[in-house]
C-alpha cells in the first residue's frame, strides 16, 4: 500500500518568514495530494490540494508543489502569521474511493 | 462544515463493552470514511463506504465493524472495546470533486 513520509515533525518560524513542509509518497499511481490544517482540539481542515496533472498550485499565501518523478510534494506558506500555528498533514491517494494515506504531521509554530 | 455531525462527541467506556459511533451527513455524499487519530500516527483509515450497504476495510479495521443503511448515516461499532482503541475518531465525506471533509470528531476513552 501507499506510504507517506512527512518532514519535519516540528517547525518553528518567526512571523513573516516562510515555512516549507515536505512529503514523499511511495505509490507512483497516486494522483491526488491534499493538505490539511488542524488546530488544537479541532477537525482537520482542507487548505489546498493538487492533482498529478499539475506541478504547482497557489492560494494566497499558501502553495503546493508536486514532483512526480521524485514522488514528493511540498507545502509552502509565505509571510507566516501567528494564526498559521497548527499541525499540518499531507496525504496521498490513487483516486476514487479516495482512501487517503496521511503523513504523521508537522507542528508549525509561528513566533512573534 | 460540509454538513457533518458526529455523536457522541465524547465517550468513556469500559473494556469489553460494545460502542457505536454515529456519523451523519446532510449533503447526500456517496463516499464516507472513518479514521482514527493517534499521536505519532496521523490519521489512519478504519473503514469506508461507497454507498448504502457497500463498505470496505481500511488500513486498521481489526476490531471494528461498520454499517450504512441510509445515505446520510455511517455507523462505526467496536464490538468489544479495548484500551488500544482509545483514540479520536473522525468521520469524513468525499465530494464529487474528490475532496474529503471531516466531521468534528469523537473522543473515545476505553478504561
pLDDT value, residue A96? 60
The C-alpha atoms of residue A109 and residue A83 are separated, in whole angstroms, by 9
pLDDT at residue B12 tops 80: yes
pLDDT value, residue A99? 85
pLDDT at residue B22 tops 90: yes
Where does chain A show beta strands of DSSP type E? 4-7, 10-14, 19-25, 32-38, 45-51, 56-59, 62-67, 72-77, 86-92, 101-102, 106-111
Omega cis (within 30) before B8? yes
In chain B, which among 10-69 make CB contacts under 8 A with chain A? 31, 33, 40-45, 48, 50, 56, 58-59
Task: Kindly state the average pLDDT of the residues A79-87.
Answer: 97
pLDDT at residue A94 tops 90: no
Reported as a single tens digit per residue, the pLDDT across B40-65 is 888 999 999 999 999 999 999 999 99
pLDDT value, residue B1? 67
Contact between residue B64 and residue B46 where contact means Cβ atoms under 8 Å apart = yes
Query: Could you give the 3-state DSSP secondary structure of residue A27?
Result: coil
Task: Kindly state the average pLDDT of the residues B68-93.
Answer: 97
A1 — pLDDT class (breaks 50, 70, 90): confident
**Chain A residues within an 8 Å CB radius of B58:** 99
Instruction: Write the DSSP symbol of residue A112.
Output: -
pLDDT at residue B4 tops 90: yes
Task: Kindly state the average pLDDT of the residues A71-97.
Answer: 93
pLDDT at residue B111 tops 70: yes
Which candidate from B48, B90, B102 shows the least CB-CB separation from A99? B48
Instruction: Write the DSSP symbol of residue A93.
Output: B
User: Does the beta carbon of B100 lie under 8 angstroms from any beta carbon of chain A?
Assistant: yes
Instruction: Write the DSSP symbol of residue A98.
Output: T
Closest C-alpha among B51, B5, B55 to residue B29: B51
Task: Kindly state the average pLDDT of the residues A3-15.
Answer: 97
pLDDT value, residue B92? 97
pLDDT at residue A97 tops 80: no
Distance from CA of A51 to the nearest CA of B (A): 10
Amino acid at each position: 500500500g501507499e506510504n507517506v513520509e512527512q518532514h519535519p515533525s516540528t517547525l518553528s518560524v518567526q512571523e513573516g518568514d516562510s515555512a516549507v513542509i515536505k512529503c514523499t509518497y511511495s505509490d507512483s499511481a497516486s494522483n491526488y495530494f491534499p493538505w490539511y490544517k488542524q488546530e488544537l482540539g479541532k477537525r482537520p481542515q482542507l487548505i489546498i490540494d493538487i492533482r498529478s496533472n499539475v506541478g504547482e498550485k497557489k492560494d494566497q499565501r499558501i502553495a503546493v508543489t508536486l514532483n512526480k518523478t521524485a514522488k514528493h510534494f511540498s507545502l509552502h506558506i509565505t509571510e507566516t502569521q501567528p494564526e498559521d500555528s497548527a499541525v499540518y498533514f499531507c496525504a496521498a491517494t490513487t483516486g476514487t474511493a479516495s482512501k487517503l494515506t496521511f503523513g504523521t504531521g508537522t507542528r508549525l509554530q509561528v513566533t512573534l | 462544515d460540509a454538513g457533518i455531525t458526529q455523536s457522541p462527541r465524547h465517550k468513556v467506556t469500559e473494556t469489553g463493552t460494545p460502542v457505536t459511533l454515529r456519523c451523519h451527513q446532510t449533503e447526500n455524499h456517496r463516499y464516507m470514511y472513518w479514521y482514527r487519530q493517534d499521536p505519532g500516527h496521523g490519521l489512519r483509515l478504519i473503514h469506508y463506504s461507497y454507498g448504502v450497504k457497500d463498505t470496505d476495510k481500511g488500513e486498521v479495521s481489526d476490531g471494528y465493524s461498520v454499517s450504512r443503511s441510509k445515505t446520510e448515516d455511517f455507523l462505526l461499532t467496536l464490538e468489544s472495546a479495548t484500551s488500544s482503541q482509545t483514540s479520536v475518531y473522525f468521520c469524513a465525506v468525499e465530494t464529487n470533486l474528490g475532496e474529503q471533509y471531516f466531521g468534528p470528531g469523537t473522543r473515545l476513552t476505553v478504561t
